Amino acid sequence: MILKKLPILLAAGALLFACDKGKSSAEVEARKSFVDFSGMDSTVSPGDDFFSYMNGKWLKNTKIPDDQSGWGSFYTLYEENITKTKAVLEEAAASKASEGTLEQKIGDFYASGMDTVAIEKRGIEPIKKDLADIAAIKDYKGYLEYVSTNEQNHGGALFSFYVGTDDKNSSKNMVSFFQGGTGLPEKDYYTKKDPETQKIRDAYTKYISKLFVLSGTDEQSANQQAKDILAFETKLAASHKSPVELRDPIKNYHKYAVADLGKVYKMDWKTFLEKMLIKTDTVLVGQPEYYTAMGKLLETTPIETIKSVEKFALLNNTSSYLGKGFGDANFEYYGKALSGQKAPSARWKKLVNQTDGSLGELLGQLWVKKYFTPEAKARMLELVSNLKKVYRGRIEKLDWMSAETKAKALVKMDKIVQKIGYPDKWKNYDDVTISRDKYFENARAVGLHSYKEMVAKLQKPVDRSEWGMTPPTVNAYANPAFNEIVFPAGILQFPFFDNNADDAMNYGGIGMVIGHEMTHLFDDQGRQYDAEGNLKDWWQPSDAQKFKDKSQVVVSQYNGFKMFGNMNVNGELTLGENLADVGGLAIAYEAFKLTEQGKGDTKIEGLTPDQRFFMSMAQIWRIKNRDETMRVRLTTDPHSPELFRVNGPMSNFEPFYKAFNVTEKNKLFIPADKRAKVW
């Protein structure tokens, strides 16, 4: 399933996002103002740098908490939601609910993970059998036998796959294999020579070595195995496609009969798949080059190295469920080296996340009852409806698209499905037994359930009611295979949305997010899927070329954005998100102009309706990131840094120019004929 997501990386330390309960009357009153004037930097002209104009003082005065990789709107809302979720879990854990009830399962899962005394006492006992099974492997054929039959990690470290919608037949589920086997952010991290990349490679090998030592390996041997694993992954990474190359759905779609998979890598695929409980005669392979290279390496690499690779995968995958030493080692690499965090998150926060990730649709049922109102859902449906009408009208008026393509685009627009808040039907976890004193076994029981649920899809019709996120999630996504846009309850709160806010704030906040996700269904990837969610060329060739030409303007603009003096935004990697930002702003604004406030010119707090709309949009991207996080994002993340998520769309939008008197003397000014405009 392709999920295009907003980053969970955004800003508002000075904004008051938290619920009003327990706050002073002054804080509640401040919340009702909705615009945070204290975070603005009035020394910056809005026409030179609107992001800094709105957020500059906040950026200067805000300290990122030690346990965070950044701080701002998404982060603070996430912190609010995680605190709410903790309350739900603690209540469930204390309820002494009957065996098998959702309260018992989520409560005992959470409680078992919080029992650090029991976890430390067990040490590595939960994985001793797995370690012995890996040690017993004799050759690469034995390795294939192990990874195909290991129900705790089918496919092992090297065979990455999932079951989801067939891109070219959205009514059918398929198993899709894709490149994997590496632990650095992307392929270039194995070969780049700059100090920052070398520091991450060193931290990675140190992490591998530390896990081996914690599992009982002597330090000298652990260091050597870490070097062997890095050398193996370096060879494997050479076969990987880059993040930009992975964005092309056509070039990453290869259908094979199981009988023909020997052309990719010669082995008994039929038996291999059957042992993994995968019942199919056809599979998709996203990157066949990876499996060809992996197969050759598997046969020519010393088996002791292959075993080390698999042992590391086991230790890495289970580090969150073992003792403190494993958690600390995990933090040193993922938290500190990759994200720049100064300290690990509190134990309870990790357990809230793990419970949500493991039993999210049990937890979600209690969460939405407590924190998501019917009124909020109704207002959201109204917003979505208004934006769909506007988007439809914009397609009808396009001057660059032919009538033939336009008619099909309108059919697709009319068929967009919106999911708001939470699923209409909840997943079933009846086969999962959760014990209050067996955290590791609980995690594995959920993992086995998820695997069986996934492979069972191969024998069933596609379930379009399924969600890719849990209700408390502070995020949203578009799924072109379902032609849908999805907004979990977790994001439907201030600064994105507030039932008490004026329309300018809501349309500039969640309205822009809605427009962003709608535009994803028509971005450089999403536009290739038809109204039914099939990857199919439904465009007239001349229209497709015009779209590419218009998109290239966006690529060129964002390629020119620079950070750290020597790192540019990758306009090709971020194209889909940038198109969604530029389009989302325009659509949300036009929908806002249909409201009574949008039609008028009544000022609130000295601000015109249009000014409040644009200020709301800039506030939702109020984020401060650690340098380590941003360096990784610039090479791997399809989302542009928040600075450019504000200034980029604004500089291409004439109503912004009028609202803040932007002229050719300002830095954000782009001549009208050079501005990006697609949808």
- Please identify every residue annotated as catalytic: 517, 581
What's the token pair of residue 324? 């403190």
d(CA 572, CA 244): 6
d(CA 173, CA 175): 7
H helices present in 95-162, as ranges:
102-114, 116-122, 128-135, 140-149
H helices present in 331-418, as ranges:
347-371, 374-397, 403-414
H helices present in 415-511, as ranges:
439-456, 503-506
H helices present in 180-277, as ranges:
195-214, 219-237, 269-275
Type of residue found at 243: P
d(CA 536, CA 293): 30
**Which residue has 């998404």 as its token pair?**
74
d(CA 384, CA 484): 12
DSSP tag of 499: T
The DSSP secondary structure of 616-662, one letter per residue, reads HHHHHT-EEE-HHHHHHHHHH-SSPPHHHHHHHHHHT-HHHHHHTT-
CA dihedral 445→274→155→535, nearest 10 degrees, is -100
The answer to whether 495 and 73 have CB atoms below 8 angstroms apart is: yes
Type of residue found at 106: I
The answer to whether 587 and 390 have CB atoms below 8 angstroms apart is: yes
What's the token pair of residue 183? 């632990």
Task: Write the burial class of residue 325 (CB in 10 Å: 0-12 exposed, 13-18 middle, 19+ buried).
Answer: middle
The answer to whether 400 and 540 have CB atoms below 8 angstroms apart is: no
